[in-house]
Amino acid sequence: MRRMVSMGIVFLLAGCASGRMASRSGVPGYSGGDLSCVPYARDRSGLLINGDAWQWWQAADGRYERSRRPQPGSVLVFQRTSRNPQGHVAVVSRVVSAREIRVDHANWGTGRARGQIARDQPVMDVSPRGDWSLVRVWYPPADDFGGSNFPTYGFIHGRMLMASVR
């Protein structure tokens, strides 16, 4: 019996040494990197936009197609708030349903997760009209959606508008 308890402790400690707990949901957690969301989204999407994340929506006006419909590869632009003063941008990796997408983004976490990359993270539309103007974002440490709602401008798509191509 004592040997079984000792083996159990060894296995538990080995699991802790990996630095990652297995997710109940199967959604991956944070991974390496020391990035802010803007250069990460710019690199992943190919959008040639500068400025803080909240400025991307206006900067895309007249240059890129924008909408309230998610598409793989498009960038979801979060508005700035007192809690999120620079806003946030995340790249849509896939559309799961009319009210759920998955995104890849950087620097959403706090504390030790600050600057980390999170891939294939669920984002849920909680807007009253189903127009993606208000969302909840997956929070890996809780292995669930966070409790906060975040306002968004919408999605910037990678297609440049003809007026921008000269």
Q: Is the dihedral of CA 87, 146, 20, 90 positive or negative?
A: negative
Is 33 part of any domain?
Answer: yes
Asked if the structure places residue 4 within a domain, the reply is no
pTM: 0.80
- Cα–Cα distance between 36 and 50 in angstroms, integer? 13
Q: Report the domain count for the chain.
A: 1
CATH of residue 118's domain is: 3.90.1720.10
Instruction: Say if 14 falls within a structural domain.
Output: no
In a domain, 13, yes or no: no
**Chain segment 30-85, per-residue pLDDT in tens:** 676 678 999 999 999 999 999 999 999 999 999 999 999 999 999 999 999 998 89
- Identify whether 145 is part of a domain: yes
Condensed to tens digits (0 to 9), the pLDDT of residues 125-156 reads 999 999 999 999 998 888 899 889 999 999 99
Cα–Cα distances in angstroms (integers) from residue 42 to residues 34, 75, 131, in the given order: 15, 9, 24
Do the domain assignments include residue 108? yes
10 domain-assigned: no
pLDDT of residue 5: 37
Secondary structure of 80-99 in HEC code, one letter for each residue:
CCCCCCCCEEEEEEEEEECC
Specify the pLDDT at position 11: 34
Q: Is residue 50 part of a domain?
A: yes
Contact 139, 122 (CB under 8 A): no
Measured CA to CA, the distance from residue 85 to residue 153 in angstroms comes to 15
Neighbours of 55 (CB within 10 A): 17
Distance CA 46, CA 75 (A): 10
- Domain range holding 128? 28-164
Q: How many residues does the chain have?
A: 166
**Helices vs. strands in the chain: H and E counts, helices first:** 3, 9
Q: Where are the alpha helices (DSSP H) in 47-115?
A: 56-60
